[in-house]
Amino acid sequence: MLTSDTHIIKWFRLWQWLWVAVVAALAIGLLGWADGGAATAALTLAYHMPRLMYARSRVSTPTGQVILTAAAAWLALLAIIFLWQSSVGEHTLQWPYLEGDMSKYFHWAVHHYSGQVPKPKITSGGYSASIVALWWIFGQSLIWPVALNVMLTLFSLVITGQMAVSALSGSVSAPDRRISTWAIGLSAVSGFYLSQGAMLLKEPWVYIAITLVGWGLAEAICQRRGMLRPALLFLAGGVILSVIRAKYVNFLPIGIALLLAADWRRHWRLASVLAMLSLGLWMLGLAISDHYTVEQQVNNVTGNALMHRAFDAEGWRGAFVAAYYGWPWWARVLVLPLTLVIQTVIPLPWPPMEQLSSVTAWLPRIQWGWYVVAGLAVWFYVRYWLRAGRGLRLWCLFAPACLAAIAYMTAGLVSRYALPFEPLVAVTAVAALFRRRGQEIR
């Protein structure tokens, strides 16, 4: 059972110093004294900022701090291995070896930082602009954007704890601190979720954005707060989405619809404000994107062979994609349970066989912890959802509705796009664990 025993605090302080020493030894051993020292400093800072934010929150517990530290240690290990793999041979952390989207993000940043490479074609430069901002302060190196991603991933866990309290406080048989701790713990057991925070990807920014939006909706729907706090949280998450990954702005109307369904007489003013904000954020995303059009936005919703053109799948995936995007919309809806299962169970995109020798490729894809979380969430929907209060019942629909939309648009073959919603699923799992025995969930 989770406890706040003083022995946990004592061992926690020792554990903090121990993992810093291990990270320093590993980083210096693999990257050398200069880069290893910089990586140690960056990753230590990336851990302490979210830890301090969590330690000063009203729902902080010693067990929660241990969980956050364990997640930080795991992220630091993955980050150091990623940095080492990116700087082997003739490559350096200033000019690393990167593939796919990561290479495009890095070279876009280099183009705008020093002009030493041509500008690559990417949908939006928002994420790469954050890399340029870091380089203006610390200089060109892969270390700093990776450390920022580690910090953002840890912040997303802290925000998940706050979101869980807003969604479940007073509705389940557990105090706020226990709700928060369990939500952080269940989010942290997903290795695939954490692993994306140790690479040069947009996902950590999207984690932050979706948890902020979910928190704002929980404040309005479940706690029935006033307009200001929910609107600010919603706006903060929406701005990040429009700048970093504008496609996800399309999910915001789902949350607004659930807000109105909860109590339209009470929430129509807030819903109107959020709707106007969403429209403005959608237009902002289009305005700042280099290669993103209204036609592509429509393709995101309708499918229209978008993913079939976007990535080259082989084997059964290629055959399934080729068939899937030729089906009418109603046929894709009929197979939605199958695509949802694929998206939930298989951590796609799966790396090529030659990359599976890397620990950072196969270890995060051992998903047993996530299967437990998803199973608990499914149990909540089957056993307790109809008995929950109206606010909690509607808030818990936001994640599955967005996950279903992603599965419909991608045929369930890009599980990475679903990762930002895993913390919301974890909160639903907490509701299953601490439902009120012998009575309805309020």
pLDDT tens across 79-96, in order? 999 999 898 888 899 999
pLDDT of residue 333: 92
Each residue's pLDDT tens digit, 222-254 = 877 778 899 999 999 999 999 999 889 999 999
Q: What's the full length of the chain, in residues?
A: 442
pLDDT of residue 1: 42
Residue 184: half-sphere exposure toward Cβ, Cα within 13 Å: 34
Band (295; pLDDT cuts 50, 70, 90): low
Residues 164-173 have a mean pLDDT of 88
pLDDT of residue 436: 54
Q: Omega into 62 within 30° of 0, i.e. cis?
A: no
Each residue's pLDDT tens digit, 331-374 = 999 999 999 998 998 877 666 544 545 666 666 667 788 999 99
Band (307; pLDDT cuts 50, 70, 90): low
Band (169; pLDDT cuts 50, 70, 90): confident
DSSP characters over 351-379: PPGGGTTSHHHHGGG--HHHHHHHHHHHH
Instruction: Say how far apart CA 414 and CA 259 lie, in whole Å.
Output: 28
Instruction: Say how far apart CA 235 and CA 213 lie, in whole Å.
Output: 8
Instruction: Say how far apart CA 105 and CA 155 lie, in whole Å.
Output: 22
Instruction: Say how far apart CA 237 and CA 219 lie, in whole Å.
Output: 14
Residues 255-282 have a mean pLDDT of 91
pTM assigned to the model: 0.91
pLDDT of residue 409: 87
DSSP conformational letter for 97: -
pLDDT of residue 431: 93
Band (440; pLDDT cuts 50, 70, 90): very low
Strand-pair partners of 124: 289
- pLDDT surpassing 90 at residue 72: yes
Each residue's pLDDT tens digit, 393-407 = 999 999 999 999 999
pLDDT of residue 249: 92
Band (170; pLDDT cuts 50, 70, 90): confident
